[in-house]
Structure 1
Amino acid sequence: MTQKQVAVVGGGVVGVCTAYFLAEAGHDVVVIERHQNVAQEASFAHGGMVAPGYAAPWASPGMPKRILSQLFRAEAPVRLKPSLDRTMWHWVRRWMAECELERYRINRSRMQRLALYSRDILRQMRDYYQIDYEQTQGVLQLFRTEKDRLLAAPGIELLAENGLPHEILDAEGVRAIEPALASDTPLAGGIYLPQDEAGNCPLFTKRLKQIASSIGVQFHFTSTVHAIETESRGVALQIDEGRYPADAVVVAAGIDSASLLKPLGIHVPMYPVTGYSATAHIKNFEHAPQAAVVDEAYRVAITRLGGRVRIAGTAELGARSDALRDRALRTLLKVGSDWFPDAANYSQANFWTGIRPMLPDGPPLIGATPVRNVFVNIGHGSNGWTMAAGSGKVLADVISGYAPDIDMDGLTLSRYG
């Protein structure tokens, strides 16, 4: 391996994991982040799920019909803001094509391959460095109705085919695992994923930043990369008022990655989908969730992060601002109150909204691009925390000239070639 000077653009959990593994492989690494610290955007206050068994593309059988039926409800998992944006409608068409059963099976298998590897890498890092990130064990999917269970059937089949440990439960079995669930909310059953987990993503990312710094990674905050230019022996980054050379660059800048790559002739069908979360301090620990649950009807996760409970989910297309929208927040609070009404004062919750960089088919894009010395680690959608460690390790191997530990089929730019 030849040591390289590598610039990583983006200080989210994916970028920091990438920087750590590049430095561990012997490279000279710098992370360039426009905020004042790591994990300040998509990594900041999402649901915290590290769940390979639950990792799935948003494009799934029955999803278009489900979205249309719920568009005008007061509380709904998806909101499509009317827009004349051609880019959005082009993305929606591509997304709908990926909702076919066979495409869903292919995409989910690709995501789970990476997610399982990533979970193993994360655990190795956690054990080696003794990192505590308020992790909890186990994820419980809740079905309010038999219809919810039927919509989840293709995913359940893949769990069995891929040998992922899971338990299919009736309502009584669900309540045995999570006894604090409210008794008056309809419950048709659920799936328990004992090896999945949840945790505090920003806490982990900040700890990993300290570890990465100790092995030589430099972090440059409040610095914005405006352009990437190719040179005969590497690349040059236009950062604010300066121009800085490097042997290679990794673009891991979330939704901003698309605009950085476009001038280089690299076009990725990534679209910003807005998600929301509410975080409240637990007032009655005996009435709070023990781990993580997901309401399949609303696609909302409820996780336990130390002394807090976080409710996260909903998806909004066509919103171009970071405004907190009442309809999305009502959905979160309804789900929290339905399942754990006495756990926290939800009216005093802290609310957050962030952008998920979504690809129409689901799996991220990792590896080389057609432009020499330009690499990507992008498009993880709502699964960035689930896939971050594995994505960083894989990309570090690619840049170092090593064969990755997993099959990269369907996880590179070639799938759009």
Structure 2
Amino acid sequence: MKVAVIGAGVIGITTAYELATQGHQVSVFERNGAAAEECSFSNTGVASAGYAAPWARPGMFKHVLTHLWQRDTPLRISKLSMADWRWLWQMRKACDSTTFARNRESMLRLAEYSSHRMRTLTDTLNLEHERSQGFMVLLRSERESRLMQDSLKVMRDAGLSFKTLSAEEARNIEPALKPETALAQAIHFPEDEVGNCRQFALLLKNEAESLGVKFHFNTPIEPLSSAQPKTIRIAKQDLGEKFDAVVVCAGLASAQLVRPLGLRIPLAAVHGYAISASVREPLDAPRSGVMDEQYKVAISRLGQRVRVSGGSEIGGNASRHDAASIKTLYRVLDDWFPGAARTQDSMQVWKGSRPMLPDGPPILGASGISGVWLNLGHGASGWTLACGSARAVADSINGKSPDIDLQGLGLERLHLQR
């Protein structure tokens, strides 16, 4: 088949590669001048099945209100549009325990499958990107440990590999952790990893091109037409190019692209921040990656750099940086790994817009419109979920049953939750 993939982030590139391996003629359309320029550019680097979970959970809104006016809050609310308010209302409705348990299980199932697929691609294709093994969640207080118990039970029931560690055991794994910072407990995921998402995406792009995939950069496309949904147009007056199938992987732009088809996909921009700097002293830097549970800030080792990511923000825009959010990243880095990075030199500060659905999991598979397929809404877990999502969608397009159950990951669940 002749297939168009819209978007050349890590989701679009993995999708294009999987389709090409199944013999399809694939063209990728990307509005930016290069691959992996938006959310895939500077994310946390953490690919953790255990930490892939919906925001919408019992007690979430109380948690948000508790932290809303704190200086170092993990979530900030900026100027909200009506669409943002609707999204928050839908998220609130998805916070009941039954919906959370179902969505958590769906994301965990996809994350485990995706982790396996990522390792397979990395090993078989020799994709030598910056990566390190293991990921640890740091719990500063006994209260945080208690709040973690429900999530640990879900992971334990799913057979996920993890260990609960004392502070001493955690520091044996990450010896550079600052001794003076309170640490009640840690959760260690030895099979998870930290990796450079953009490097991986660019390497896989090369592999896709070797299979015949054509990439069209600086090519924003028009929203899909209800009369000809499988035709890609560069301009309104353009007759367009016809395809046998179209896969929408365009991040936040996805909702606008499919709106003329009658699809109302509630994607919201949840902005996140990252700072990256060269390692100052390797012995003072993390060996792999850690997550500060209180502030929802990840500190990752990517080769000879340290990346600190966090600070979720709803509303506002990607171009305006919130000084307090960036300051929190510096503070958490200093709490755990003081002196690890050359923060006074050439710091890279980044803000990206993560496309998130109100209930948490992405949407994979058929759109209900013949020939139009969806692979979108991965939120903060895009790097974790990309490889599995791509393989499952490619298999579905090819008429093959995916190796993973896609129940709870399709478009139909949004209609059920209205």
Is TM > 0.5 for Structure 1 vs Structure 2? yes
Moved more, 163-172 or 377-386: 163-172
Q: Secondary structure at the match of 2:252?
A: helix
How far is the alpha carbon of 1:151 from its aligned partner?
2.0
C-alpha distance in 2 between matches for 1:301 and 1:99: 24
Q: 1:226 aligns with which of 203, 217, 222?
A: 222
Relative to the length of structure 2, the TM-score reads 0.96
User: Separation in 2 of the partners of 1:409 and 1:98?
Assistant: 17
Gaps spanning 5+ residues in structure 2: where? none
Match in the other structure for 2:231: 236
Stretches of 4+ moved more than 6 A in 1? none
Q: 1:398 aligns with which of 384, 396, 399?
A: 396
2:64 aligned with 1:67:
yes
- Pick one of 14, 17, 31 that aligns with 2:14: 17
- 2:173 counterpart of 1:174: no
1:204 aligns to 2:200 (yes or no): yes
For residues 227 and 262 of structure 2, the distance between their equivalents in structure 1, rounded to whole angstroms, comes to 15
2:180 aligned with 1:184: yes
Structure 1 position 265 matched with structure 2 position 268:
no
Where does residue 156 of structure 1 map in the other structure? 152
Match of 2:140 in 1: 144
Structure 2 residue matching 1:346: 3-state secondary structure: coil
How much does 1:104 deviate?
Answer: 1.8
Instruction: After TM superposition, give the deviation of residue 231 of structure 1 in Å.
Output: 5.3
Separation in 2, partners of 1:414, 1:100: 19
The correspondence of residues 304-383 of structure 1 with structure 2, limited to 5 A, is 304-348=301-345, 349-383=347-381
Of residues 90, 109, 133, the one that matches 2:129 is 133
Q: What is the letter of the counterpart of residue 381 of structure 2?
A: N
Q: Which runs of 5+ in 1 are unaligned?
A: none
- Shift in Å at residue 230 of structure 1? 4.7
Q: CA deviation at 1:416?
A: 1.7
> Could you tell me which amino acid in structure 1 is paired with residue 71 of structure 2?
A
2:295 to 295, 298, 306: 298
Are the counterparts in 2 of residues 276 and 351 from structure 1 also a CA contact under 8 Å? yes
Report the secondary structure of 2:225's partner residue.
strand
Give the letter aligned to residue 145 of structure 2: R
Identity, in percent, stands at 42
Offset at residue 82 of structure 1 (A) = 4.0
Is contact 1:57-1:104 (8 Å) kept? yes
TM-fit CA distance, 1:339: 0.4
CA distance in 2, matches of 1:103, 1:331: 32
Counterpart of 1:62 in structure 2: which amino acid?
G
Amino acid at match of 2:234: I
Amino acid at match of 1:193: F
Q: How far is the alpha carbon of 1:141 from its aligned partner?
A: 0.2
**1:5 paired residue among 2, 5, 12:** 2
Shift of 1:229: 2.2
CA contact (8 A) 2:223 2:259 kept: no
1:274 partner letter? H
**How big is the shift at 1:146?**
1.5
Structure 1 contact 82–318 (Cα < 8 Å) conserved: yes
1:165 matched to which residue of 2? 161
Number of aligned pairs?
A: 412
Q: Residues 318 and 352 of structure 2 are in contact (CA less than 8 Å); yes or no, is this contact kept in structure 1? A: no
SS at match of 1:160: helix
How far 1:378 moved relative to its partner? Answer: 0.3
- Name the residue aligned to 1:76: 73
Correspondence for 1:99: 95
Q: SS of the residue aligned with 1:6?
A: strand
Confirm or deny that 1:119 pairs with 2:119. no
Query: Residue 108 of structure 1 is aligned with which of 95, 104, 108?
Result: 104
CA contact (8 A) 1:81 1:319 kept: yes
1:279 aligns with 2:276: yes
